[in-house]
Chains A and B, each alone.
Chain A
Amino acid sequence: MSRNNLLLIVGVIVVAAVIIFNLDMEVADKEETVSLKPAVVFDMGGKFDKSFNEGVWNGVKKFTEETGIEVMEFEVTNETQREQAMRRMVDKGATIVLGVGFAQADAISKVAADNPDVQFSIIDVGWLDAPNLRQYVFKEHEGSFLVGVAAAKASQTGKVGFVGGQDIGLISRFACGYVGGVKSILPNAEVYENMTGSTPAAWNDPARGAELTRSQIDRGADVVYHAAGGTGVGVIQAAADAGKLAIGVDSNQNGLAPGSVLTSMLKRVDVAAYETFMDAKNNAFTSGVQVLGIAEGGVDWALDDNNKSLITADIKSAIEKAKDGILSGDIVVHDFLADQNCPY
């Protein structure tokens, strides 16, 4: 090849290398001297999943707004990144790292063991053990029991439906509590249960959610509860289109189709996220498992302007009665995960 061409190539490469490596060297590893550096690692759903991750993000946002402390965040895209993200947060000086969802359990237990001076917290996990790890578990069965009571009271056909996301024990726990609530009012009620699928894709399949809902409505159901993340948007839409009622989950979804959403089962992951960072800020961080049920304000039902007209005094008093019963211990809602079995 000619010398000119060779020079040209070498020149281009050298110039490119210089541009690439010298433009901004100080961007890496910017160290700040703040005593508290919180970090959150969202899971594959992403922080705007209208559901679980977004609930956490709302809690994080509230923390940042109130304290002015920036929270480092990352959304993972593959399996390896969970552990990488947590280690990276620790390397960047994070003092507390919050993991979102049970899929991060393995990663957080490894990273927590390697970094005893850093605090860790994870939501929806209760089976790990580390001195620097806090775990949040929600009593979804209790909240589901309440909306089951509401469904039974609002149903005119005596038939109600449930649409779950991924077919896992956690979602069976929602279903079982719901059935318990329904049957506490209508012992002979029929409850149709469908799971959307067996992979994580089942969390984001609104078309299939709508299809399952329509089929349940065709069989006579007039209230359908979903615990299916993004899939639930389709459930609510299908119920609203058919003039029936839906029940939302995780965050307050009453506003998604005002007048067609009977209520929502609130799972306050935002509380868990907010509390984690607040406790860390106030030096009140504790390890161990935090179980958030009705008594702790971790699960509840939603009543606002959007569903005020749907919740009659009768429904409301029935829900409140069930709530009081659970609080006092008179009603013990069966936990599916305790024995992988639903007695209702």
Chain B
Amino acid sequence: MQTSRLPAYVDILIIPFLNLLTALFVAGIIIAIIGENPFTALSVMLKGAFIYKGGLGYTLFYTTNFIFTGLAVAVAFHAMLFNIGGEGQAAMGGLGIGLVALSLGGVIPAPFVILLAIMGSALFGAFWGVIPGYLQAKRGSHIVITTIMFNFIASSILIWLLAGMLMAPNQMSPETVSFADGVMLFKIHEILNSMGFSVARSPLNISFALALLCCFAVWVLIWRTRLGYRIRATGFSTKASTYAGYRPEWIIILVMAISGGLAGMMAVNEILGVQHRVILNFTSGYGFTGIAVALMGRNHPVGIIFASLLFGALYQGGAELDFEFQTITRDMVVMIQGLIILFSGALAYMFNPILERFFSANTPQKEMLDG
């Protein structure tokens, strides 16, 4: 990470805010060119993400996906491993849930099925992370190449199963039959409605809590345990790690297992939370977006929560744009999302020199120290 000569609050608050504003400004120009009022569009986007009926629920639902995949990328990144196989690991996680839920659903009580299914998703995802991890650690095959290829393998396995032996009869989609009754996670709106609040329907379910729990667990793991220290040490220098007696190859494999497990748990939200059956393409690119989330969140769980929230809001608010304006198509929405990623991810440090000049001119030296 680039060391900044700026006060911390500038680095954490003002710079992302400026980047976001720049992105919205450029997007606004384009919206104005196609003949819509950019301020109206922005307000629709924000209200769609947070205020409209069910909007916040959808935003947090997407956020949950991004937290899992973002954490997966971040954990691996602390060991300097670039895991871009979140997509495949999540797909395998979905398969894990499916196999548990379809074989045990209705046989043993639903809560146990759910518990086992969640473990199944983490195990299958972890397994799909361990193989590239092993190949990296023991055979030197580059993790970027292997993880991206494992995405294709996972996708092919899922296609083969869903279009073959797991496919539900009497219909055309490559998907399994629905899980047994009760094998699903509680929806947040159902819980709140039963407590007397009136909340609009949304796919948000208790896996959001699981995601936050994982954030905390990752924070503890990376910064408060010996293993976390070893992971970071291996990330900084494999040689030093070897010298310290940490056996970096095992750390690589372990990190990939954790990373894959986290990515696999994304399927808990999609499959166990919403679809209640295994479908093709439920990963919808969340695994790849997780990379952007982790980069924006500076590989820190708290940063990842906020970055996930931003991406969740973009997904949901973007959909609302498409609903409200006939002229704004989904491709425009992707473009707006792309601009925001560009300015807050790739060009994240664009404003640093300007702000550094501004703050070094205005701030006494000692105040910079508490930043």
Contacts and interface: CB of A to CB of B under 8 A. Distances in A.
A2 B363 contact: yes
A103 B330 contact: no
Contacts of B14: 9
Given A12-B17, A78-B284, A198-B163, A27 B330 contact: no
A78 B52 CA distance: 20
A127 B14 CA distance: 55
Given A9-B14, A198-B163, A199-B155, A84 B284 contact: no
A83 B160 CA distance: 26
A102 B171 contact: yes
A275 interface: no
Contacts of B87: none
Interface string A201-231: 0000000000000000000000000000000
A20 B46 contact: yes
Most buried by B among A21, A74, A167, A199: A199
Given A20-B46, A23-B39, A199-B155, A75 B329 contact: yes
Most buried by A among B13, B172, B277: B172
A287 interface: no
B322 interface: yes
B326 A73 contact: yes
A157 interface: no
A236 interface: no
Interface string B22-42: 000000000000000101101
Nearest to A167: B163
A106 B282 CA distance: 14
Given A80-B274, A84-B319, A199-B159, A24 B39 contact: yes
Contact of B319 (A4, A72, A81, A198): A81
A99 B102 CA distance: 28
Given A9-B14, A77-B330, A168-B174, A1 B7 contact: yes
A325 interface: no
B270 A28 contact: no
A87 interface: yes
Contact of B173 (A20, A24, A25, A105): A105
Interface in A11-38: 12, 16, 19-21, 23-25, 27-29
Interface majority SS on B: helix, strand, loop or mixed?
helix
Given A2-B367, A46-B330, A75-B329, A27 B40 contact: yes
B281 interface: yes
A23 B172 contact: no
B146 interface: no
Contacts of B370: 1
A105 B367 CA distance: 61
A72 to B, nearest CB: 8
Contacts of A27: 40, 43-44, 324
Most buried by B among A4, A12, A77, A168: A77
Nearest to A20: B46
Contacts of A77: 284, 319, 330, 333-334
B128 interface: no
Contact of A28 (B44, B203, B330): B44
A144 B39 CA distance: 51
Contact of B330 (A75, A80, A102, A124): A75
Interface in A68-90: 72-75, 77-81, 83-85, 87-88
Task: Give the 6 A-B CB pairs with smallest separation, nearest first.
Answer: A78-B284, A102-B172, A23-B39, A24-B40, A75-B330, A198-B159
Interface of A: 1-2, 4-5, 9, 12, 16, 19-21, 23-25, 27-29, 46, 72-75, 77-81, 83-85, 87-88, 91-92, 102-103, 105-106, 124-125, 127, 167-170, 198-200
Interface of B: 7, 9, 13-14, 17, 21, 37, 39-40, 42-44, 46-47, 51-54, 58, 61, 155-156, 159-160, 163, 170-175, 201, 203, 270, 274-275, 277, 279-282, 284-285, 315, 319, 322-324, 326, 329-330, 333-334, 362-363, 367, 370
Given A5-B7, A87-B54, 20 more contacts: A2-B362, A5-B362, A9-B9, A9-B14, A16-B21, A28-B51, A46-B330, A74-B322, A77-B330, A77-B334, A79-B279, A79-B282, A80-B270, A83-B203, A102-B173, A103-B173, A106-B277, A168-B172, A199-B281, A200-B280
